[in-house]
Amino acid sequence: MKKIIYGAAIVLAILHQDFWYWDDATLIYGFLPVGLVYHMVYSLLAGLLWAMAVFFAWPSHIEEEAEQSIQEMEKNTAL
C-alpha cells in the first residue's frame, strides 16, 4: 500500500504541469477559469492522497520507538 501511495504522489506531481489548459479560457459555471478549477481539484486530490497515507502508511514505528525511548530514559532516571 505504501508503494501505491508513493506512486500516486509522483503521478500527482507530474500531473501538476497541466500544459493542456495553459491557454484555455473556458469558464466553469460561468465564472471559474478551467485552469484554476483543475488545480482546485488537484488540491482536493492531494488531501485525499494524504488521507490515504495517514490511514494506510502512517509511520507508527516512529511513535512506538520514541515512546519506548522515553520510557527507558524515565526508568534509568528513576534508578
CB of 79 to other proteins, least distance (A): 18
Nearest to other proteins of 11, 78 (CB atom): 11
Cβ–Cβ < 8 Å for 56, 16: no
Nearest to other proteins of 40, 78 (CB atom): 40
Site residues (vs other proteins, CB under 8 A): 9, 12-13, 16-19, 22-25, 27, 29-33, 35-36, 39-40, 42-44, 46-47, 49-51, 53-54, 58-59, 62-63, 65-66, 69-70, 73
Nearest to other proteins of 48, 78 (CB atom): 48
Cα dihedral 38, 42, 44, 45 sign: positive
* Cell numbers placing 34: 478551467
Cα dihedral 37, 43, 48, 52 sign: positive
